Every structure is written in C-alpha cells, then in structure tokens.
Structure 1
Amino acid sequence: MPNIRRLDPTASPLDYFGSELRRYRESAGLSQKELGDCIFCTGSLVGQIETAHKVPTREFAERADAALMTDGCFSRLVGLVLRSQLPAWFQQFAELEARAEYISTYQCQLVYGLLQTEAYAAALLRVDNPDKVEEMVAARMERQRVLKREQQPAVWVILDESALLQVVGSRRVMREQLAHLSSFRDNPWVHIQVLPFDTGAHTGMMGSFTLLRFGDDPDIHYSESYDQGHMTANPDVIRERSVGYARLQGAALSTEASADLIARVMEERYGDQPAAEDSGVA
C-alpha cells in the first residue's frame, strides 16, 4: 500500500521535493508503481522520495520531469536538495564555490572534491558516515556540475604527492581516480600540479586551503578543521595565502610533469596485480 504520510513542504528542500513529486503524480492520476515503471525505478523508491526517506538523484529528477511534464521543476529543485545534504558548515562554501570565476586549491592529503570519482568519494565518506554514503556522494557529484557550466571557472589544483599514494578504498578505486585526474591533461580550464615529497618544508604544511575569486566580489580564503569550515575575506589573509599559493606553484612539478607522474603512479602502483591485493581499505 502506498505510504500516505503527509509532509510539511516548508521543513526542508527534501520535504518540498517529496511533496511536489506526490502532487504532480496524483494530478497525473498515477500510482507510485505506475510512475516508477515510467522512470525505470520501483514504486517503493518513489514512495521513499515522496516521504523524504530517500534523497533523489539528478537522473531521477530529470526522468520525473519528463514523465510528469513539469517543465524542469524537479531538475531545478534537485540541486537545492542535494546541497542540503552537505554538512551545514560546508554549504555556504559550496554556494560560493559554484559562483567563483577562479578556484585555486592546495590539498595536502586528498584529491580535491571537484575532481573525485564516485568510488573515491564513497570510500572517503563511508569512514564517518556509513549510513549516508549514497546521498553524500550524490551531493559531492552535484558540486562537480560547476565544471560543466557554460562559463566554467578556471581551476588550479596542487596535490601533495601523498594524495596519489594514499590508498583510498582500494587499488582499483585509486587507479580509476588517477585515470580521472589524467583525463584533465588537455583541459584548458583545469590545471593539476603535484607537489613532490622532495620539496621539503613548504608553506602548505599548515594544511589544505582554497582561494575563490569572483568578478566583482572580494576574494575568499577557505580552510577547514575536523567539524567546521573557516572562511574569510580579510585582505591580509588573502594577500598572505595568495603569495603562499604562488610559492607552492613554483615548487610543484609543471602540469606536464605532474600528468606524467600521475600516469606513472597509476601504472606502477595501481596496475594489474592479483585480485586478492585489491581489497585494501584506507
């Protein structure tokens, strides 16, 4: 029997999405199962989304729009829904990141979120959020849509060499992740540099950070601790970190040499080996 729990559509973006899905479905005279058949999913999934027990994917939203002829209603809503799944302290940064014209980041341990594969992101998120992996991965993939917008930002990423060597998920996951990084080699808007171990002491050793630049608004510096993000537009901080970032760029391998190193690590460290060795978890 279909779940008839009623939602307060003002409670959250997820509740609003669910209530609108039910409203459009009922107006079309369809049961949950019938709508599920139309969009290649189960009626149970439709019911879970209508009752805010499940987070919709963008694919689900686009198929629902087509089946219910909503003129893109759910495709527009799903971005808000997925963003709401990000940690509350991270949501403001994600909104700014999506508007930035230039993103420059140094990552001391991990691949930057905008460049992560689904499997890599899932392995990371599963460590602390085993019950919310699916929706948090969907939210992270939604962030990456910034790289597909009509006027995408210029993105400059400096990865510490350790990000290539730390096994996250499994060797197979890492091979896929490094292959994904390699796919940006000829992308004119995404530049990746690797900071090698033999650099020695450097200005990024205090931790990862990101600089966002906008057309008319002040630049933003962002860093984070375990449970919160720190943003500032303080000109002194921006100046200091911008100079620090330039020094990291100077110390890092060139984009060409970095691409070669990524390809070499992918083959030498994560190439074909016995399946039994492919079960390691970071």
Structure 2
Amino acid sequence: MTHINTLDPGASPLDYYGFELRRHREAAELTQKQLGDIVYCTGSLVGQIETARKLPTLPFSERVDMALGTGGALSRLHELVMRSQLPAWFQQVAELEVRATEICTFQMGMVHGLLQTDAYVRATLGALDETDLDDRTAVRLARQRIFDKQVPPVFWMILSEAALYQEIGGPETMRGQLAHLLSFENNPRINVQVLPFSAGAHAGLTGSFTLFRFATDPDIVYTEGYGSGHPTANPDTVTNCSLRYDHLQAAALSLRDSAELIRRVMEERYGEQGDSGGDPVA
C-alpha cells in the first residue's frame, strides 16, 4: 500500500494525480472528509485516490476542479491517468487513437472497443478474469472520449455478421450493444458496415486489423495477438491492408442495409421473449 508521505509524483500518472489532488486540497485548507462532502463522496475515497489506490472518475475530477478552483487541471489529467492504466502493450495504440484523423477497422468476432457499451465491455473483460473489473471497464470506456474532441476522428468499422450473433453477456447486453451501434446512423463521422455471411470468402479471412490515418504522418496498421499488439508503418503492409480494406468495404452491406440487418438481429434474436400465453415479458 502506498503511504501518502512517500507518494512519488513521478512514479506514474496516477501517482501524479494523487499528489496534485492532495496539494490542491491542502491549499484550500480542507480535510479529506470535507472535500468528500463537497463533491458527494466519502473522505475515504478521497484518501484512496490521493494515495494512488483508486482510479478517479471523470465526474469526480470535474467536481473537484470546481470545488478547488483548479482551472480544470485534474480533468485534463484524468485522460492521461486512464490511458496509463491500459496494458503496457496497448498504450501505444491508444495514443494512435488520439492522434488519428481516420480510423478504419475490420472486426471478425466482436465490436471494436471504441464502440462497446459498458455491459459489453464488462462481459468481454470478465470472461476469464473479474479482478478490478470496474476499473478495467472504466479504462476501456475512457478511450471513447476521442469522439468528444472538437474535431473527432472519422471512424469506419466493418463488422463480420458473425459478431452480431456471438452472444456476449447475454441477450440484454447484446440488445443494448446493437442498439448502441444503431445510434450512430445519422453520425457521418462514425460508420458501421456489416460484412454478411453471403460474402463468402473475403479479404479479411486472415483476421481483424485496424488502419490509422493521420494528417501528416504515415499510415499505420495494427494487428493484435494474445497479450500483444503489433503496429507497423511498413509501406508494403500498409498498402496490402489498405487494399484488403477497400475490398472488404466493397463486399460489405451499405450503411443503410447494415443498419437494417443490425436492427433485425436485435429484434429477432435478442428481443423480449414472450411468456407461455404469448404476451411479452418486460
């Protein structure tokens, strides 16, 4: 357990956040309990965050910034803290997500993390390990804040139809996840296409991949293995995967037809089940 008197602000972004929270609180001459009362949490939680034993949430950071008059300092730190909690091998990819002007991804078995719902994230992360599931879920969802930027990236996801039927987390979770995908129908910067079973053999059979495009830097291709990520700017690889993506887009359903398929699967496979009398059960 980290002791507050030995907390090293240079050890990690989380330690730095805790150090700054304590510094601002003490400058305001507030105890942990007093600050907790102001921002609607316990003094114990304030203490855990100050000693880098608990991840701060964005609402907590925003309320503390307002209470202590920090000018938004902790809210700005929050994004860095959450990114630092990602697996070490994935942190570079999270940086690419932040910097990219366009992200094009093909996903074979599940929805891409940038479009996952809270329940879907919990189901995927908790499949084998439920340790610190709340924090791990919050860390993944924090990546989605790139869509809140003044100029968010254009995001294209081609999703295998199989992912619509892979029941992750149960019917309710899948219903919510597919409804979430449909919520982007009128958002020109977030686009979802489904590669139907009828496409047969296709250019993505070798697996999922993501293309990152930037305003000035070279494009980067990202592929993933078990516990490892593989970003590369190798021109031959980028050219090959860009061609594959073009062919996948040509084979995929249109945006409109994709939405119709998603809606149909959501209603027919994951819709509310009737009782023995045929009436819907809430």
Q: Which TM-score bucket, shorter chain as reference? A: over 0.9
Counterpart position of 2:279: none
Q: Residues 201-212 of structure 1 correspond to what in structure 2 (within 5 A)?
A: 201-212=201-212
Range with greater deviation from structure 2 (23-32 or 111-120): 23-32
Counterpart position of 1:278: none
Counterpart position of 2:177: 177
Alignment check: 8 A CA contact 1:192 1:258 kept: yes
Q: Distance in 1 between matches of 2:149 and 2:4?
A: 38
After superposition, the C-alpha distances for 1:150-184 in whole angstroms (9 at most, x for unaligned) are 11111110001111111111211111111100000
Instruction: Give unpaired runs (5+ residues) of structure 2.
Output: 276-282
Sequence identity percentage: 58
Q: Distance in 2 between matches of 1:125 and 1:134?
A: 10
C-alpha spacing 1:128/1:84, structure 2 compared with 1 (3 Å): farther
Counterpart position of 2:280: none
Counterpart position of 2:232: 232
2:66 is equivalent to residue 93 of structure 1: no
Alignment check: 8 A CA contact 2:4 2:50 kept: no
Q: Match of 1:196, as an amino acid?
A: P
Q: Match of 1:243, as an amino acid?
A: L
C-alpha spacing 1:164/1:5, structure 2 compared with 1 (3 Å): farther
1:132 CA displacement? 2.3
After superposition, the C-alpha distances for 1:197-236 in whole angstroms (9 at most, x for unaligned) are 1211212111110000111100000000011100111111
Counterpart position of 2:252: 252
Q: Residues 239-278 of structure 1 correspond to what in structure 2 (within 5 A)?
A: 239-273=239-273
Counterpart position of 2:106: 106
Alignment check: 8 A CA contact 1:82 1:135 kept: no
Q: Match of 1:7, as an amino acid?
A: L
2:13 is equivalent to residue 10 of structure 1: no
Q: Distance in 1 between matches of 2:45 and 2:5?
A: 15
Q: Distance in 2 between matches of 1:148 and 1:158?
A: 22
C-alpha spacing 1:208/1:47, structure 2 compared with 1 (3 Å): same
Q: Residues 29-68 of structure 1 correspond to what in structure 2 (within 5 A)?
A: 29-68=29-68
Q: Distance in 2 between matches of 1:173 and 1:86?
A: 23
Q: Match of 2:67, as an amino acid?
A: A
SS of the residue 2:205 aligns to: helix
Instruction: Give unpaired runs (5+ residues) of structure 1.
Output: 276-282
Q: Distance in 2 between matches of 1:192 and 1:237?
A: 24
C-alpha spacing 1:175/1:255, structure 2 compared with 1 (3 Å): same
Range with greater deviation from structure 2 (115-124 or 127-136): 127-136
Q: Match of 2:99, as an amino acid?
A: R
Q: Match of 1:187, as an amino acid?
A: N
Counterpart position of 1:81: 81
Q: Match of 2:71, as an amino acid?
A: D
1:129 CA displacement? 3.8
C-alpha spacing 1:46/1:109, structure 2 compared with 1 (3 Å): same
Alignment check: 8 A CA contact 1:120 1:168 kept: yes
1:6 CA displacement? 3.3
Counterpart position of 1:191: 191
Q: Distance in 2 between matches of 1:266 and 1:174?
A: 8
After superposition, the C-alpha distances for 1:54-80 in whole angstroms (9 at most, x for unaligned) are 111111111110111111110111111
Counterpart position of 1:164: 164
Matched length: 273
Alignment check: 8 A CA contact 1:6 1:51 kept: no
Q: Distance in 1 between matches of 2:67 and 2:274?
A: 46
Q: Distance in 2 between matches of 1:32 and 1:257?
A: 54
| TM-score (normalised: structure 1) | 0.94
